[in-house]
Amino acid sequence: MLPLYLVAVLPPEPVLAETWALKQEVHRLTGSRNAVRLPPHITLLPPFRAPVAFEAECLAALAAFAATEPAFEVALDGFAWFGDRTLFVRVAGAEALQAFHARLRGWCATHLPQVPAENRPYTPHLTLATRDLPPTQVPELRQLFAGRAYAAAFAVAGLTLFRHDGQQWQPRPTLALGGTAPVN
């Protein structure tokens, strides 16, 4: 089977640690393994399959795209749900991220045609848990997060390619946006 890839924005510290703690809490409360299989991130290109040889081409094309893009701010504010399957941190004032995503999709259409076109609107969010939440625990989890507040802001300074190893998502290089220092 072909490897699975995705492209995402990773928040820097302290937002990374704060949202990772939220994901671990959901895992402890519900047993959701999906909550802790991928670090906190905002998906730019959802999972897609491609041959292993694609990775080098993808990294080169993404690096060229990133070099043309300035860093920008993202704000997180509160929690929300997609149905009963996905708990996430809401991206507030998402216009800059949506515009960045649109430019990335356009770049991929020209430079990485192997990346499939999306068939649903882009809704930026930072997932805490998805797909394997036990249905009997969702009402309690909804109530718990409805009574909480979380807000943070950070500069998006890069984008990261991930490859799934069969168990977890492994980060490949993070590619710095133009005008920012290399991201580690």
Is 181 a domain residue? no
Contact of 161 with 119, CB cutoff 8 Å:
no
pLDDT at 173: 86
Is 184 a domain residue? no
pLDDT at 179: 55
Scan for tokens 């969702």, then name that residue. Answer: 138
Query: Over the chain (184 residues), what is each successive 10-residue block's mean pLDDT?
Result: 94 97 96 90 96 93 96 97 95 95 96 92 95 94 96 97 90 85 48
**Number of independent structural domains in the chain:** 1
Write down the pTM of the prediction.
0.93
Is 19 a domain residue? yes
pLDDT at 141: 96
DSSP E strands, 42-118: 42-49, 72-82, 86-92
pLDDT at 87: 97
Is 183 a domain residue? no
Is 49 a domain residue? yes
Handedness of CA 63, 68, 71, 75 (dihedral sign): negative
